[in-house]
């Protein structure tokens, strides 16, 4: 449905993003090795409450998410409330929308504020690629359940005899589609081939991403939105993202071997997001509440759109479907935007989406529209670099994009910005933000 969206409460308040904060993003098994998504979520929410002097008693709701679920703590949002000394009466529930999870948690809080059921809410997401729910094979899992029912030693031995050595091997979570078994990297390869995205263009996007991210850190533009984390057992700390390579060289990138199609592929470790650990969070309120509490919001939500497409082909094309929804709902076109932040899952995926933004054929055939979404002006695109450089702790990336967009628009004197991401399951998210 593409009806115009008026993101205002019944009393005419806009939805204010009061603050956004994140942990540094760290490559798998580095600074946050051994620290769970829940612990990173607790760090960022606790720091946000303290840094913005927000009385926990005022927080009506926490909506949070993680993509790689921790079976021991399935409702991460509630564990954050209970683990940060927040008011125990703060309602909390968890959501997942794969790589667009913190777009979803933000929208959930916004919708509750619009409905008038929540006044102050916290949204966000966290993921760890280092603390993983490594499981057992289906056969072993079944045997373990059967063992609890076995009455005699003979019954137990029979169950063990069903198992081979291979059934005993641990099973790590896969970065692949459940329904097709195709990995995200293989989808990126498919998109590169279908849409004619060259290796050179992918590598150039990676170089740009790292250079802009390194410049942003150097200029001090990320300092306010990234906290320093003291890492349990508190002998070390991390205060900056550790995947960004200031001295990235195109010649070195060109020598890397493709990972997902070793013979004919073009997707490498450098033009893919690395597996990453991190967490992000946002404080949301109606504009008048924010002002009454003395806050100067960093931005306002103008519209959003979620889209769902096929998972067999072009599965990471979500931004090209979600963006026109968000633009229509805001009553805007791409040209009205001052900045665009697109999650770079893989350079091939971002470049394929950019191509589809400008394709009239795509608009006609896939979107049922007569005009293309529009050409992306590179001077407005991922101006602080993107996920290729920062990394991508799945559920935390939306929070990074939204906060980074608001703060960068502010530095430029305000304006309108699009944040958009692809997600597993053929999902796409887009959100338009305005900053004064």
Ligand X SMILES: CC(=O)SCCNC(=O)CCNC(=O)[C@H](O)C(C)(C)COP(=O)(O)OP(=O)(O)OC[C@H]1O[C@@H](n2cnc3c(N)ncnc32)[C@H](O)[C@@H]1OP(=O)(O)O
Return the residue of 67, 120, 253, 429 that touches ligand X, per CB under 6 A. Answer: 253
Q: Can you say how many angstroms the Cα of residue 229 is from the centroid of all Cα atoms in its chain? A: 20
Letters for 310-349 (x = contact with ligand X by CB under 6 A, - = none) are ------x----------------------------x----
Binders of ligand X: how many residues, by CB under 6 A?
Answer: 23
Return the residue of 214, 275, 340, 347 that touches ligand X, per CB under 6 A. Answer: 275
Instruction: Please tell me whether residue 422 binds ligand X under the rule CB under 6 A.
Output: yes
Task: List CB contacts of 365: < 8 A, sequence separation 6 or more.
Answer: none
Instruction: Name which of 67 and 416 has its Cβ closer to ligand X.
Output: 67
CB of 347 to ligand X, least distance (A): 11
Distance CA 176, CA 184 (A): 6
Supply the Cα-derived Rg of the chain in whole angstroms.
Answer: 22
Residues 80-109 that bind ligand X (CB under 6 A): 99
User: What dihedral do alpha carbons 67, 70, 75, 80 form, nearest 10°?
Assistant: -90
3-class DSSP state of 230: strand
Instruction: Please tell me whether residue 395 binds ligand X under the rule CB under 6 A.
Output: no
Distance CA 175, CA 172 (A): 10
- Contact window for ligand X (CB under 6 A) among 2-10, 118-126, 402-410, 420-428: 420-428
Instruction: Name which of 242 and 288 has its Cβ closer to ligand X.
Output: 242
The count of residues in the chain is: 436
Is residue 385 within 8 Å of 404, Cβ to Cβ?
no
Is residue 114 within 8 Å of 7, Cβ to Cβ?
yes
What DSSP element (H or E) covers 362?
helix 360-362
- Contact window for ligand X (CB under 6 A) among 82-90, 145-153, 222-230, 422-430: 422-430
Letters for 42-81 (x = contact with ligand X by CB under 6 A, - = none) are ----------------------------------------
The DSSP output letter for 419 is E
> Which of the residues are catalytic?
99, 392, 422
Which residues contribute to the site for ligand X (CB under 6 A)? Answer: 99, 175, 184-185, 206, 245, 248, 252-253, 256, 259, 269-270, 272-275, 316, 345, 392, 422-424
């Amino acid at each position: 449905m593409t009806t115009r969206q008026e993101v205002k409460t019944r009393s005419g308040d806009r939805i204010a993003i009061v603050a956004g904060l994140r942990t540094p993003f760290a490559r798998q098994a580095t600074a946050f090795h051994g620290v769970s998504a829940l612990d990173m979520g607790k760090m960022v929410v606790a720091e946000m409450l303290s840094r913005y002097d927000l009385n926990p008693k005022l927080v009506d709701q926490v909506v949070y998410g993680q993509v790689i679920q921790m079976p021991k703590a399935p409702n991460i949002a509630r564990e954050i409330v209970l683990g940060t000394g927040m008011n125990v009466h703060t309602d909390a529930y968890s959501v997942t929308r794969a790589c667009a999870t913190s777009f979803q948690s933000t929208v959930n809080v916004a919708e509750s504020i619009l409905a008038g059921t929540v006044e102050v809410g916290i949204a966000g997401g966290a993921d760890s690629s280092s603390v993983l729910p490594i499981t057992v094979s289906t056969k072993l899992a079944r045997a373990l359940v059967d063992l609890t029912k076995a009455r005699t030693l003979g019954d137990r031995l029979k169950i063990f005899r069903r198992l081979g050595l291979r059934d005993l091997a641990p099973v790590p979570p896969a970065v692949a589609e459940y329904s097709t078994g195709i990995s995200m990297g293989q989808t990126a390869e498919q998109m590169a081939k279908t849409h004619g995205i060259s290796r050179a263009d992918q590598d150039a996007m990676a170089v740009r991403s790292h250079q802009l991210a390194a410049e942003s850190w150097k200029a001090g533009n990320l300092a306010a939105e990234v906290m320093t984390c003291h890492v349990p057992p508190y002998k070390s700390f991390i205060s900056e993202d550790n995947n960004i390579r200031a001295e990235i060289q195109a010649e070195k990138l060109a020598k890397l071997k493709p990972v997902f199609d070793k013979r004919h592929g073009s997707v490498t470790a450098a033009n893919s997001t690395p597996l990453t650990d991190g967490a992000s969070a946002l404080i949301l309120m109606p504009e008048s509440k924010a002002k009454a509490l003395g806050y100067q919001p960093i931005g306002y939500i103008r519209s959003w759109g979620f889209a769902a497409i096929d998972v067999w082909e072009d599965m990471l094309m979500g931004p090209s479907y979600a963006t026109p929804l968000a633009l229509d709902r805001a009553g805007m076109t791409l040209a009205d935007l001052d900045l665009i932040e697109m999650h770079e899952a893989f350079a091939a995926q971002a470049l394929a989406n950019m191509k589809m933004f400008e394709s009239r054929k795509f608009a006609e055939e896939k979107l049922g529209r007569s005009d293309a979404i529009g050409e992306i002006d590179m001077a407005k695109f991922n101006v602080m670099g993107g996920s290729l450089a920062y990394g991508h702790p799945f559920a935390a990336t939306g929070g990074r994009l939204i906060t980074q967009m608001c703060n960068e628009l502010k530095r430029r004197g305000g304006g309108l910005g699009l944040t958009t991401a692809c997600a597993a399951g053929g999902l796409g998210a887009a959100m338009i933000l305005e900053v004064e």
